[in-house]
Amino acid sequence: MATAVVTGASRGIGEAISQRLLELGYDVIGISRTINENSIHHPNFRALSCDLSDEKMTTSILTLLATDPSITILCNVAGFGIFEPHEEINAQTITKMVTLNLTAPMMLSNGLLRVLKFNEGIIFNITSIEALRHSKFSALYTATKAGLRAFSLSLFEEVRKSGVNVVSINPDMTTSSFFEELRFETSQEFDKRLEAEDIADTIQNILQMRNGVAITDITIRPQKFGIEKKK
Ligand code: NAP
């Protein structure tokens, strides 16, 4: 059985991707801080609790994962954003965001590439529309996501000869708990926001393409522009 490792699997986009991969017949190892075996009810789901903003914890989880020869998919989903004037963000938050959004996907790719090469697997990195544009109050988040996209595209050039694909998925605003602490949220209107399932659909479509074809960079947007300011 092929195994997918999905970070950020406890909710939102990572949970939707995990559910879809389970439906497609993969074993899924879901990673997040609060995840447990009850997070997703499926016999082929396994939970690994880890704070991926802590490099030592990421290293120890990699030691566990490195013994699994069936890993074929790595989905780097865990991440968070803060959209405030840059001088208002403290140093601890800067380090935490860079470590979670950028360092952890690089470390997980580094630790799992041998098995992914052996299985001719695929890495999905969930970046953001912010990886492609330059928005006010988004300098830190944009830097982590543009960095992750650049990492994905460069890594593909390195590993394509081994049969490994690396995909940067760049979603626009998607309804999830991502906005809980923010001053804005997604629109209520269906054509002005994305759903987590839209990202899962994209991953399914890529996985179902014929061998020998690689989508490396894909941007998903709602048909119309939408954003709600919180009262
Ligand atoms: P979400 O609902 O807030 O989910 C975030 C996930 O990341 C949760 O599973 C959370 O689990 C995990 N996580 C957070 N901090 C972590 C840590 N220190 N260590 C391990 N896991 C951690 O957000 P989402 O919308 O699904 O976002 C998922 C990814 O998509 C993020 O990388 C985000 O930047 C990206 N994205 C989101 C949007 C959007 O509009 N929602 C758009 C573009 C890109 P625990 O709390 O259990 O740790």
User: Looking at residue 140, what is its pLDDT?
Assistant: 98
pLDDT at 51: 98
Burial of 24: CB neighbours in 10 Å, binned 0-12, 13-18, 19+: middle
Give the start-to-end residue ranges of the domains of the chain. 3-229
Q: Which atom of ligand 1 is nearest to the CA of 34?
A: 47
Regions of the chain short of the pLDDT cut 50: none
CA atoms of 216 and 124, how far apart (whole Å): 9
Task: Kindly give the distance from the C-alpha atom of residue 79 to the centroid of ligand 1, in angstroms, as a whole number.
Answer: 4
- Could you give the C-alpha distances from 144 to 62, 102, 201, in angstroms and in order? 22, 6, 24
Contact between 131 and 170 (Cβ < 8 Å): yes
51 Cβ inside 6 Å of ligand 1:
yes
Any atom of ligand 1 within 6 Å of the Cβ of 105 = no
Q: Is the CB of residue 52 below 6 angstroms from any atom belonging to ligand 1?
A: yes
pLDDT value of residue 189: 97
Q: Which CATH class is domain 3-229?
A: alpha beta
- Ligand 1 binding pocket mutation candidate from 176, 179, 180, 228 (most atoms within 8 A of CB): 176
Ligand 1 atom at shortest distance from the alpha carbon of 12: 26
- Judged on CB neighbours under 10 Å (0-12, 13-18, 19+), 89 is middle
Helix axes 55-65, 104-118, angle to 10 degrees: 10
Quote the CA–CA distance of 113 and 21 in Å, as a whole number.
20
Residue 134 one-letter amino acid: H
Q: How far is the CA of 212 from the centre of ligand 1 (A)?
A: 31
Give the pLDDT confidence of 3-19 residue by residue, as tens digits: 999 999 999 999 999 99
- Residue pointed to by tokens 């994209």: 202
- The model's pTM is 0.99
